[in-house]
Structure 1
Amino acid sequence: MNNKTVVWTANRDNPPVTSKAKLEFTKDGKLLLITEEGQKHLIASSATNSVSHAAMLDSGNFVLYDKDSNYIWQSFDYPTDTILGDQALFTGGQLLSSSSESDQLTGRFHLVMQFDGNLVSYPANSEEAEPDAYWSTNTYYRNGVNFHLYLNSSGSLIIVNESNSETVRTIYPDPDSSSTSSINLDNNNNTIYSATLDADGIFRLYSHTYDERRNYRVSRLWSALNSPCDVKGFCGFNSFCTLYDDQGNCDCLPGHDFVDPNRRTLGCERHFSEVGCRGGKENAVSYNMSTMDNMVWGNTPYFSAKMTMEECSSSCLEDCNCGAALFKNNLCQKQQFPLKYVSRDINAGYPAFLKVGLNPIKPLPPVVSNTVIITSKIAKLQIVLLTLGFTILSCLSLATFGRFILKIRVLTYKRVLRNGILGLPEEVTLRLFTYAELKRATNGFKEELGKGSFGAVYKGALNKGKKLVAVKRLEKLVEEGEREFHAEMRAIGRTHHRNLVRLLGFCAEESKRLLVYEYMSNGSLADLLFGAMWRPDWNERLRIAMDVSRGVLYLHEEYQTRTFTGVRGTRGYVAPEWHKNIPISVKADVYSYGIVLLEIVCCRKNIDVNASTAEEIVLSSWAYKCFAARDVYKLVIGEEVDMMSLEKMVKVGLWCIQEEPALRPSMKSVVLMLEGITEVPVPPCPTTLSM
C-alpha cells in the first residue's frame, strides 16, 4: 500500500465501506458501489446517453463510453484534490484538499481557477475574498476570455487560454529561474506527473516513476509555498503556526487550550471564565494583558486609533469588547475573539496584547461510582419502607407548599383589584376605555388576529365602525400580566414612528388588562412571510428588513439605558441570556431581530418541523451551515435574488444571534451594515448553534 498514491476519489465524504462491498456496472449504464448492507451509491453515469462500457486509461482517467465508443463521462472532469498529466482544471473548477494524507475526506482548503484568470488558494470556509487568499498566480485577465490550468504529459504546469490554447503563464518550470536548464522533465512511459492540493493546503507538483526493477519513487518537483505556516487557516481559531524541522506546528494563544489535543489544527478555546464586564480600571481585578511580539492576524479591527503601546494595552484591558489588540504603525487596532489566520512573522509582525482572565474554568469533578449490592431481605425491606415514607413526606410537603403559594397569589390578586390602575406611568397620556366598550367593539372578542405569550389580539371597530383597532387582552396570571401591561405602556405609550404600531389606549378595569393598538390592514409580518401563497420579492424583503431595524433602533434610542429582569418574548426569539441569571440589555432585542431577519430572508419560520431535512428544521443553525459551506443560495433556491445582498443579510443575522451579548452589534451598527455604509465582517459560529 505504501507505493500507491490516491489521485481521485468517488463520493469521498460517504462513510467507508467494508471489504465485502462491490462495484456493479448495471445494464442501464450506471456504475454503482454496493455496500455490505445493500445500500447503493452512484459513482458514475450519463444523463444524456446510454452507457455501453467503461475503461481505466493509462493516463489515470476513468471513462464511460456509449455504443459507438464515444466517451460520455470521465473522471478528469470531476477532480478531487489532484490533476494528472494531460488533465485540465477549467474555469470555475476547483481542487479540494483531503483531510489528511491517509484520509480522503474533504479537507480544509481549496484551489480555484477563477473566472478572472487567477489561480488562487483559500481556506475552505472563507469568503474567497482577497484577505482570505494565501497563494495565487497573480494572473488577471478581464477581457472575457476563459482560462484553465493544464498539466501536460511531460510535467509542465501552465495556464492556458481556452479559446486558442495559447500559454499565458508557465508555473513550472519557472522560465525566469536560473536553474531551469538543469530541470529534467521526463516524458517517458515510466513517469507520471500529478499536481495536488495537499492536506496542509499547499499546491505541489510530483513525479511518480518506476525504474527498471519496478521500484516506485515519488519526487517533489515544485511547491507553491515553502512552509505550512504561510497557509491561512492551517491552524484554527485562536492558535498560531510555528515551524519545527520544516513541519508546521500549531500552538494556542495565551489564555487558550486546544479544542482537541490530538488534532491541534482544529484551533483553541479559552480556558478562563468570563466575568461580568466592569469596565475601566476595575477590569484589572479580573484580567491581565499578555504581550506577544511579531504577530499578525486576519481579522478586521472594530477600532483603530493612534496611541502609544502602553496606552494600547491599557485601552484594551479597560474595553469590555476588546479581546486582543495589535500595535501596528503606531495604531492600536482592537479585535474581539475569535482570532483567525494568526501567525508569528519575524519580518512583518507587530506587538500584540491579549486579554487573559484570572479565573480558570474549573473542570467538572470525576464521577465516582460505588456500586453496593444488597442481598439481605431485611435490608431490602428497610429500603422499601424508607423510600415509601420519603415519598409520602414529599407529597405532603408539596401540598403544603402549593397551598401557601395559592394564598400569596390570592392576596396579590386582591391587592391588584384594590389598586386598580394606580401605578401607571405619569408620562403615558392615552385614552382610557371601559371593558364593556372594548367587548362591544370586538363583538365579544370574536375575531382573533393572533396570539402571543401573554394573550390574544382581536379585531375591533370604534366610532360606529369607522376606525379599526387591534385589542390585546392579557390573559397571564396576575403578576406576569401586570408586569407586561406596564412594560408595554412605558415602552410604546410615548413612541411615534412610522415603523412602529401606535398604542391608542388601554383598559385597566378591576383585574382586566387590555391594550388598544392601531389596526394594520395589511396583516402581520408573519402573515406576509409565512401565510401568503406568494412570497414578497427580494426588494420588498430588503425594505421590510430595513424598516424593522429602524423601528427597533428608534426604541433603543428612547430607552437604551434600561435593563429588564423578567423573561419577555415569544419562544424561539428570545436571547439566551433570558435563561441565565445575568442582567438583560437592549442586546436581547438585537438577538430577536437577528432571528426575524433570517426569517425575512428565507420567508420561513425559525423552527419548521416539516422541513425537508433534519438540518433544515432550525433556520438559524441551517443558515450558518450554508454560510460556512458557501452555499447561502440554498436558503432561497428557485428565487431570483441578489447574491451579494443575500450574503450580507445572512452575515448580519448571524452576528445578531451570537450567544455572547457583547459580540452582537448595536442596532445602530445593524442599520449601517444593512444600508451598506459599513462593511460586514465574517461572523463566527454562534455558540448555541454548535452545541
Structure 2
Amino acid sequence: MAIVQVAYPLLFLLSLSFYTQQTTSSVITTGSSLSLRTNRTSWHSLSGLFAFGFYPQGEKYGIGIWLVGEPNNTLVWTANRDDPLVSSNATIMLTMDGELVVRTGLGGQEESLVGSELLEPVTSASMLDFINFVLYGNNSRVIWESFDFPTDTILGGQNLSEGKELISSKSSLDRSSGRFRIFMQYDGNLVACSVNHSDDAQQDGYWSSNTPGQSSLHLNLDSQGTLALRTYSGIYEKILAKHSSFSRKGGSTVHRATLDDDGLFRLYLHWLLKGDFSSSVVSVRWSAPENQCDVVKGFCGYNSYCRGSSDGAWCDCFPGFAFINESERHMGCWRSPNYEQHCGVEDANITSSITPLPRQDEATYRLRESNWELFLHGVSKDTLACPQCSSNATGPHKAKNCDRENTLVLIVGVSLGPIAIFCSLIAAFSFLLYRYRVHKYARLSTDSTLGPAREFTLQSFSYKELEEATGGFTEEIRKGPLGAVYKGTMPDGSKRVAVKRLERATERGEKEFQAEMAAIGHTHHKNIVQLLGFCMESSKKLLVFEYMENGSLADLLFDVERRHPWSERVRIALEVARGILYLHEECELQIIQCDITTQYILMDESRTAKISDFGPAKLLMPNQTGTETEVRGTRGYVALELQRSAMVSTKADIYSYGVVLLEIVCCRSNMVVDVSSADEVRLCSWVYNCYITGELPKLVKDEQVDMKSVERMVQIGLLCMQDDSEIRPSIKDVILMLEGIMDVPRPPCPTPLYCSS
C-alpha cells in the first residue's frame, strides 16, 4: 500500500549489484509463469523481502508488489488497479513473445499487465530490492518499471514528478482507486484534495506544500528516509519530513510514503528484524495534514461531521440521522428510521432526547446547503416538537414525562423566537436585494446602446481612461492585421493590462471585435486570457485584457536563450489542450477559436500558457456541429477543410493544435526556408519522415529528453494534422493520450502529397 525506501547498506549493495548484473538466481526469463493452482504465486527479490505476484482479496486475487511481513503483507503497488481482481484459475506469464500478461483459465483471455508502454519485446524481468519491478529489453536495458506508474505510494529513489499523482485506495482490503489524490502541480505545489474536486489548491485542496512558483519540483523520498520537494538541479529544496534515528539495533529499516484511504499522507518506517523478514515493527514518522478532521472536503459524508484529532478521528451523524453504513461511517448519514416516533403512541416510554451538538472547537462540521436545510427542519419540526421515545418510563410516568418535555419544548421555542425572527428578516432583505440586482442586470442586458457589451461582468472604460492608461498608446506589445496591442496600467494603478485597439474601421474589423467580445466574454479558465473590459465610443473600439508578462509561446520556443526545457514544454502542451477542451466542451456555448498558433498562445508571469485572439472565433449553439461562416486563419495552421470553405467544426482547432504540438517538440516554426534540406521546409513532412525512419532524435538535436515522451507527442501531433478531419482525435482524447491514459494509434501520413514514400 506504500512505496518503500530501503535504507540499509547490505540490501542496497546487493540490489545495486543485481540491478546491473542480473544474477541468475533472481532473473525471470521468458516462458516463466506464476499460477494460483501451484505453490509458485510470486517472484521475490534477491533478499526475499519484496515480492511481485498474486495476493488474496476476498474470494478473488489481485496482482501487485508487497513488502513481505506478518501478520499481513504491505502492498505498495497494484496492477490494473481499477479492474484488478482475477479468479483462482489465473496465470501470470512472461511469454516467449516478450509480453507480461495475465491469462484466465486454459486458453482463456490474455490481458497485458503493463499496458502498451513497451517499445520492444521483453527479454527478462526482475523484482528488485529497490521495491521496483522492472522489465528488460535488449542489452539488459530497462524498458518498463513499476516506479513510473505509482498507485498510492512512493519509496526511495522514486520521484513524483510534475503532473503525476498518487490516488488513495478505497480501503486496506480494496485496492481500487479511492476518494483522495495528491499531485504535483506544474507550478511546484504539492496538493491533496478529493478526487471529485478540481486542481485548484486554493479552492478545493485540504492540504498543500505551499511551494507555488517553484517550477520543475518533484517529490522524493531518499534512501535516508527524508521526504522532500526538490529541483532536479538541486538548487531548491523543501523538506517535509526528515529521518530521525531509530533506537532499535540489529535490524534494517524501510521507509514508505503513502496516501492512505482516510486522506492523510503518511511517512512510515518499517523496522525489520535481522535474519527474519517475516516480522516487522511499523511506526508513523510524519503525516499531513496533522489533524484528520482537516480533510473536510471528503472525509465525512452528507449529514455528518468529523470529531477527533491526529491520534484518531471519526464521523458522527447529526441528531435525527443514522449512518448509511455503520462499518463505513465516512459514507454519511440519512434520516433515522425512528425519526417519526410520536409521544401519543400507546405504551411508548418517553424521556428527553434533545442531543447537544459539540462545540465549534470540538468538531469540524462538514455541512452543505442541503444539509443545513435538512438539519434545521429536523430540529424545529421533529426533535423539538416530539422528543424521541425510550424505555425508561412506563404507565403513569408517561404523562408526567410528556408534560415535562412539552414544557421544555415551549421554553426552547420561546428562546429561539427572536433568533427565528432575526433570520427571517435577513432572508427577506437578501431576497429583495437579489430581485433588485436581477432587475438591474435585466435592464443592462436589454439596453440597445451596449451592442455586444451586454456582459455586465466586464468593466466599461472611456477612451480617455484607456488613452491615459497606455500613456497615449506609446508602448506597443504586438501588432495584428486589424490593430495593435499596447501595454498599460489600470486607471487605479492596481494592475497592468494589455489594451487592444481596433485601428481599421472596416466591416471585417467590426465583426471580429464583436466576435471576440462575444466569445471571450463567456469564458473563465486558467488557460484562456481573461477579458477585463471594453470601450465603445463611436468608431473607437478597444478591449482590455490581463497583461501577459512573458510574451508569446513563439517567443519562448524560437529564442534559443529563452527556450523552455522539455518538461516545461510538455506542461505547456497540456495547458493549451486543456484550454481548448474548455472552449469545445465546457463552455455554455461551444467556441471554435479558429486560429490557434504559438503567436496567439501567451505566457503569464508564472509561465502558464493561455489562449488569446478570439477575433476569428465561431460560436456554436447546443447540438450544432459546425458552421459555414467564412474563416480567416494564420497560414500553415489552417486545416484543409477551411481552405476549401467547408464546414467549420472543432476539428479545425485540432489541426492547428497539432501544428503547435510539433513546434513545441522541435522548437522551430511550421515553415522554415533556411534549412539544409528541402524535406525540412515543412515541419509536418519532416517530422513524419523522421518518425517512419526511426530518426526522432533529429527533432530534439542534442537536448536531453525522454524519447518515449517525444514519440508520443509526435504521434499525437501527426494524428491531429490529418487532412481527413474524421481521423483527427477529439481534444479530450488528445489530453488522455498526452497523459498516457489512452494508447496512441500509429498515425498515417497526414498529407500524402508531402510525405516521402
Query: TM-score category by the smaller chain?
Result: 0.3 to 0.5
| TM-score relative to the length of structure 2 | 0.37
